[in-house]
Chain A
């Protein structure tokens, strides 16, 4: 387990919280914001780490996993949300449970002007496709927000996004 100053990093705690909730399939594209989750899922012999060529593939994987009795999470950057919009029809029409974790760009402290258009559109587009957004801005919020999202996704069978803000992740200057 990785530690930072004797305390577990919030990213490691988040991974272990997902695993404790029986999430076994971790779908992702490469993303610095999700690096710890991705690396942990690759190293975990009891989990399946699925590299995607486009974020939208993770939507179908989550639905298929549910049909097979497993729990999946889609980890993506906010810019990848735009690639998923039509695929979320599957989640809404089929009333599938759906959990995604979104690492934000284009909001608090962003230095790359290209990121703002999608950054501002993430929550409105997810909401329009029936995905409820729960925000974490501070490390102390991550566990509570994730607990809420896991309950809503896998007990109430709703579509939920955990939004990791740039206050939490650290803004990028590029």
Chain B
């Protein structure tokens, strides 16, 4: 998950492995994802299944949309990714 970058003396997070590791079984969640990188990560993980809403625009809308979903379905588990 962490790639060592020896020359810079730093390590870098690999999001292609970090995101699946953080979420585990995506079917446990209703997922709202912000546009661009997060939407690509989540789309690849879930194959855009029915538990997934991916933004392609309206930047900044994912957090409030996930809040609206959580208020409407308080017993469901939610995962939000933005930026």
Could you list which residues of chain A lie within 8 angstroms of chain B, going by C-beta atoms?
A: 25, 48, 50, 52, 56-70, 72, 86-87, 89-90, 93
Contact = CB atoms under 8 A, between A and B. Distances in A.
Given A60-B61, A60-B66, 12 more contacts: A52-B64, A56-B64, A57-B64, A60-B64, A60-B68, A64-B66, A65-B68, A70-B71, A87-B61, A89-B57, A90-B55, A93-B57
B64 to A, nearest CB: 3
A87 B69 CA distance: 16
Given A59-B64, A60-B63, A68 B58 contact: no
B45 interface: no
The 3 closest A-B pairs by CB, nearest first: A68-B72, A64-B68, A60-B64
Contact residues on B (Cβ < 8 Å of other chain), bracket = 20 to 34
A68 B71 contact: yes
Contact of B64 (A61, A69, A86, A89): A61
B66 to A, nearest CB: 6
B59 to A, nearest CB: 7
Contacts of A89: 57-58
A60 B62 CA distance: 7
Contacts of A90: 55, 57-58, 61, 65
Contacts of B60: 56, 60, 87
